[in-house]
Amino acid sequence: MTARSLGVLLLLGSVWGASFLFIKVVVEETSPLALVQGRITFGALAVVAVMAFDRRRSIRTSPRLWAKVAGLAVLSNIVPFLLISWGEIHIDSGTASVLNSTMPLFTALFASLVLVDERLTWLRLSGLLLGLLGVAVLTGGDIIDVTDSSVLGQMAVVGAAACYGAGAVYARILLHSEDPLNLSRLQLVIGALILAPALFAVDGVPNYNLSLEAWLSLITLGVLGTGLAYIAFLWLLTTEGSVRTSLVTYVIPITGLILGWAVLDESVGINSIVGCGLIILGVTTVIQRR
């Protein structure tokens, strides 16, 4: 990996790790729906602005493509963003960042069911079990107590990771015939359009009477953590391949835990460290080719 690619990877992992901190700040002042609407809208504006400067890139749309991308937006943006935002009402941002790092485990599971070139080998199965053990350690074994609000928050973030995993497999299928940057632009624009009616139906007039800190967090979350981060992720996929790009998974939970401890004074216990280590070990095992 070149020094430039390594720098982009570390920056991307840090931005996505910090996203859980930004979510925690914003969700304390407005609803998860309003947060996600703002996040997707700012992200869409960022990607559209980047594409406006790229005159060489053609923009292709069709009703059939819009229908496909609408499903991707629901699976990869709307549902997981809402689950994480709601979950962080009940759990620490650092815990959410670690639980979200289980996404590659679900990607491997869903890919083995859908894609003929992605078999669920014994090595990958052992990685899945290690990752699940890490989740159990991280939650202190309380994951089975579904009446506890913190457990529900943890389950919501794990559900978001499962959505990301399924969305990654679906996106891989779409990318066989679609331009990555155009797909990201449509995904965020359509996501913002789909979510707007639900926002007004549930919240009425959305509450964007936020503090300066929350507004800065929301804008950063949308522009940097959603729009520009997607572009950087696609650039890494193109230049370094999927295996090396997947290393970003290791940066996110570490950044999330450190920022939650340093900025929000969240506790980092031994179960957090051991659980994080087991999840990372499970992800490492899953992405091995041999």
Q: Range of 207's domain? A: 3-286
Are residues 128 and 282 in contact, defined by beta-carbon separation less than 8 angstroms? yes
For position 142, what pLDDT does the model report?
57
pLDDT digits over 15-46, tens only?
A: 999 999 999 999 999 999 999 999 999 999 99
Q: What is the pTM of this model?
A: 0.88
Q: Which portions of the chain are predicted below pLDDT 50?
A: 290
* Strand, helix or coil for residue 28: coil
Q: Tell me, what's the pLDDT at 249?
A: 79
Q: Let me know if 241 is exposed, middle or buried by CB neighbors in 10 A (0-12, 13-18, 19+).
A: exposed
Q: Which residues contact 216 (CB under 8 A, 6 or more apart)?
A: none
Q: How many residues does the chain have?
A: 290
Given a contact cutoff of 8 angstroms between Cβ atoms, the answer to whether 65 and 178 are in contact is: yes
> What's the confidence (pLDDT) of residue 50?
84
Report yes or no: 167 and 114 within 8 Å, Cβ to Cβ: no
Cα separation values, 290 from 150, 152, 284, 285, Å: 38, 36, 12, 9
Phi, psi for 209 (deg, rounded to 5): -85, 75
What pLDDT is attached to residue 141? 59
Q: Residue 73 has what pLDDT?
A: 92
**Number of domains, the chain:** 1
In whole angstroms, give the CA distance from residue 196 to residue 225.
20
Looking at residue 88, what is its pLDDT? 94
* Burial of 97 from C-beta contacts in 10 A (0-12 / 13-18 / 19+): buried
- Residue 57's pLDDT is what? 59
Task: Report helix angle 149-174 to 103-114, nearest 10.
Answer: 50
262-281 residues labelled b (16+ CB within 10 A) or e (exposed)? eeeebebeeebeebbbbbbe
CB 109 within 8 A of CB 269: no
